[in-house]
């Protein structure tokens, strides 16, 4: 674990958890991590999670905002901190609390709190298999494969193969910031991208089973 900041990808956004009040080191470490990540975080939202012991002033908050915007991210919320910090955050037009996620309509039992979190990119020939739900912070490149007995969330692009509900769960879903896969599978159903078709616009999407077919539609961050 990094001694200055922990970075976690979640469906609500990129969560930043400082482990130090040395903001110079925190921001330097964050910049290095974002630079290494390339552009697959691009367009995402950032949530800064503070403990009551963390200090935060207007200059530091502005510097953080400028830094994430440099990598085409949006500072969306700052949670925690003391009353002075929360007052500053509200003055800057940011959230101090996250909205409650909608109750899933199809898979109420599939709570991502029980998910396995993996931070890597699956390259050609690499396979990730999970016995539960899985959240992948990274891409599934062409030739890569991600398989889960439950739901799949990819905080990045799916260009290879994704198989949710591998043991037969027809209520499983596949969610990603970009879905242009070689193959999608849910339970025993399979769909492939037709050869020669242009990639769809880059936007979050969700795939699920409806009337014995796999349906793909825009995903706003909630469940199905």
Poorest-pLDDT segment among 55-59, 114-118, 137-141, 178-182: 114-118
Query: Given a cut of 70, is residue 148 above it in pLDDT?
Result: yes
Q: DSSP letters along 147-164, please?
A: EESS-EEEEEEE-SEEEE
Name which residue leads in pLDDT, 103 or 134.
Answer: 134
Query: Given a cut of 60, is residue 34 above it in pLDDT?
Result: yes
DSSP 3-state assignment of 121?
A: coil
Query: Given a cut of 60, is residue 195 above it in pLDDT?
Result: no
**By C-alpha distance, which of 147, 162, 148 is closest to 205?**
162
User: What's the confidence (pLDDT) of residue 44?
Assistant: 79
In whole angstroms, what is the distance from residue 176 CA to residue 134 CA? Answer: 12
In whole angstroms, what is the distance from residue 112 CA to residue 126 CA? Answer: 23
- Provide the whole-model pTM: 0.51
Q: How confident is the model over 68-82, as pLDDT tens digits?
A: 999 888 998 999 989
Overall average pLDDT of the 60-65 stretch: 96
What residue ranges define each of the domains in the chain, with the CATH number in brackets? 5-91 (3.30.70.260), 112-218 (2.160.20.70)
- On whether the CB atoms of residues 11 and 221 are closer than 8 A, the answer is yes
Overall average pLDDT of the 71-100 stretch: 88
In whole angstroms, what is the distance from residue 158 CA to residue 101 CA? Answer: 23
User: What's the confidence (pLDDT) of residue 59?
Assistant: 96
Task: State the SS3 of 48-110.
Answer: EEECCCCCCCHHHHHHHHHHHHHCCCEEEEEEECCHHHHHHHHHCCCECCCCCCCCCCCCCCC
In whole angstroms, what is the distance from residue 136 CA to residue 28 CA? Answer: 25
Q: How confident is the model over 157-174, as pLDDT tens digits?
A: 899 999 999 999 999 999
Biggest CA-to-CA distance, the chain: 56
Q: pLDDT band at 215, cuts 50/70/90?
A: very high
């Amino acid at each position: 674990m990094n001694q200055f900041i922990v970075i976690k990808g979640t469906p609500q956004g990129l969560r930043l958890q400082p482990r130090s009040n040395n903001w110079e080191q925190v921001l330097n470490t964050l910049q290095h991590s974002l630079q290494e990540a390339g552009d697959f975080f691009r367009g995402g939202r950032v949530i800064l999670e503070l403990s009551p012991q963390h200090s935060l002033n207007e200059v530091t908050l502005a510097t953080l905002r400028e830094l994430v915007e440099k990598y085409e991210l949006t500072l969306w919320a700052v949670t925690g901190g003391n009353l002075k910090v929360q007052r500053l955050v509200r003055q800057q037009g940011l959230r101090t609390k996250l909205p409650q996620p909608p109750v899933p309509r199809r898979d109420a039992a599939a709570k991502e709190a029980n998910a396995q979190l993996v931070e890597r990119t699956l390259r050609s020939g690499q396979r990730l298999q999970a016995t539960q739900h899985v959240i992948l912070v990274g891409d599934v490149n062409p030739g890569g494969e991600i398989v889960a007995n439950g739901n799949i969330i990819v905080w990045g692009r799916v260009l290879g193969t994704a198989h949710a509900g591998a043991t037969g769960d027809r209520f499983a879903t596949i969610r990603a910031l970009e879905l242009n896969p070689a193959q999608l599978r849910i339970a025993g159903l399979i769909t492939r991208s037709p050869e020669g078709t242009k990639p769809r616009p880059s936007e979050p999407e969700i795939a699920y089973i409806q009337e014995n077919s796999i349906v793909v539609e825009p995903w706003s961050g909630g469940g199905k």
